[in-house]
Amino acid sequence: MTDFGAYQYEIYFDGLRGVVPHFPMTYEGWEERARATLSPSLWSYVAGGAGDEHTQRANVAAFSRRALVPRMFVGAKQRDLSVSMFGLTLPSPLMMAPVGVLGLCAQDGHGDLAAARAAARTGVPMIASTLSVDPMEQVAAEFGDTPGFFQLYTPTDRDLAASLVQRAEAAGFQGIVVTLDTWVTGWRPRDLSTSNFPQLRGHCLANYTSDPVFRAALPKPPEEDPGATVMHWAGVFGNPLTWDDLPWLRSLTTLPLIVKGLCHPEDVRRARDGGVDGIYCSNHGGRQANGGLATLDVLPEVVEAADSLPVIFDSGVRSGTDVVKALALGASAVAIGRPYIHGLAIGGVDGLVHVLRSLLAEADLLMAVDGYPTLADLTPDALRTVG
């Protein structure tokens, strides 16, 4: 049993002692303060999406088309938000989605380490991006007892891919998340306007520059020729994988293999047949392709096709109620991107922990008030479609 909702009492007791809350209590508040904290170009990178950002807005809007129906006489005094997947038991279904450039969003430039520390403090797992300011071994060292996952951007160099995965295994990560929807970046007008994207990426290559296979392919060490290093990285970064590559991907690790970016049920069935351990239903927060469906709208089909495989969901989650709605539509776990980036930007580890605890408290209290005490109680029948 967990009592995430108790976070509200901590805040009220602080208030009684005259302590004013450090951090805003809503997504809009986190966003507004993060915007004021980050440089304009980093802000536009974080906040922006593909095209005119229609899909990005649709991700958020989809949640307001679903509403939870309250149940009474349930006596949901105790709730249980714990979830078991990939042989792990987690205290809650919340996860931190992989975010490249996370390091740069912290005041001290080490946001990947901060997120790992927040994972240790909350039990909310971090899926560490391939693109990070600090190498994965240092990130993993901060996880404490909370399991961590490594997100792989599969490079064209297969030996490099194998090396990154082997390092993740050795560092103690508990699963590999392979992102399929970003072997090339989508059309991102905000980044094109600032022309800042290449510089940002250049700061986030620690996993590559610390890799023996990557280093061996360079004419000069990265410390001596950073420009050539970035050029080499750009050449190997993205591999447009096909189904023929799935057996090879599967062979890279004995850890749970989760594929990120699946939104079509047929793709889910093929991935399942190809031996993956988990499906990650996401449209990359609307950052890659515009004009698509909200991820929440495809979730039920994906869950059905995934059958017994766990489904991690992300894109557009902005509150604890959104977490509950995604769970009711069948997600096994719910990941967030921008909300925790904002928390990190406004208050480092403390700000990030505040965002995670706020989302968990809101979800927990909603389940209490509306009479859905466990995740098993949250079925599609708990929701109605409105508007």
- Which amino acids are annotated catalytic? 284
Residues 216-255, one symbol each (x = binds ligand COI by CB under 6 A, - = not), give ----------------------------------------
Q: What CA–CA distance (Å, rounded) separates 327 from 311? A: 10
Q: Which is nearer to ligand FMN, 79 or 284 (CB)?
A: 284
How many residues of this chain interact with ligand COI, rule: CB under 6 A?
A: 7
Q: Which of residues 170-209 bind ligand COI (CB under 6 A)?
A: 182, 185, 201
Kindly state whether residue 284 participates in binding ligand FMN, applying the rule CB under 6 A. Answer: yes
Annotated binding residue at 310? no
The DSSP result for 196-216, as a single string, is -HHHHHHT-BHHHHT-HHHHH
Q: What CA–CA distance (Å, rounded) separates 359 from 225? A: 44
Min. distance of Cβ 340 from ligand COI in angstroms? 14
Contact partner at residue 317 from ligand FMN, ligand COI, none, CB < 5 to 8 Å by partner kind: ligand FMN
Query: CB of 263 within 8 A of CB of 296?
Result: no
Contacts of 255 (CB under 8 A, 6+ apart): 168, 169, 173, 174, 175, 176
SS3 219: coil
Contact partner at residue 201 from ligand COI, ligand FMN, none, CB < 5 to 8 Å by partner kind: ligand COI
Which residue, among 291, 299, 287, has the nearest Cα to 323 in the 3D structure? Answer: 299
Min. distance of Cβ 338 from ligand FMN in angstroms? 4
Residues 133-172, one symbol each (x = binds ligand COI by CB under 6 A, - = not), give ----------------------------------------
The DSSP result for 117-140, as a single string, is HHHHHH---BEE-SSBSS-HHHHH
Min. distance of Cβ 285 from ligand FMN in angstroms? 3
Residues 88-127, one symbol each (x = binds ligand COI by CB under 6 A, - = not), give ------------x---------------------------
Q: Name the residue with the smallest CB distance to ligand FMN.
A: 337
Choices 15-23, 95-103, 223-231, 319-327 (CB under 6 A): range interacting with ligand FMN:
95-103
Contacts of 279 (CB under 8 A, 6+ apart): 258, 259, 262, 268, 271, 272, 302, 306, 309, 310, 311, 312
Kindly state whether residue 347 participates in binding ligand FMN, applying the rule CB under 6 A. Answer: no
Between the alpha carbon of residue 227 and those of residues 56, 124, 205, 232, the distances in Å are 33, 36, 12, 9
Contacts of 136 (CB under 8 A, 6+ apart): 128, 150, 164, 167, 168, 171, 173, 207
Q: Which stretches of the chain bind ligand COI, using CB under 6 A?
A: 100, 131, 182, 185, 201, 284, 287
Binding region for FMN: 98-100, 129, 151, 179, 282, 314-318, 337-338
Binding region for glyoxylate: 45, 153, 188, 260, 284, 287
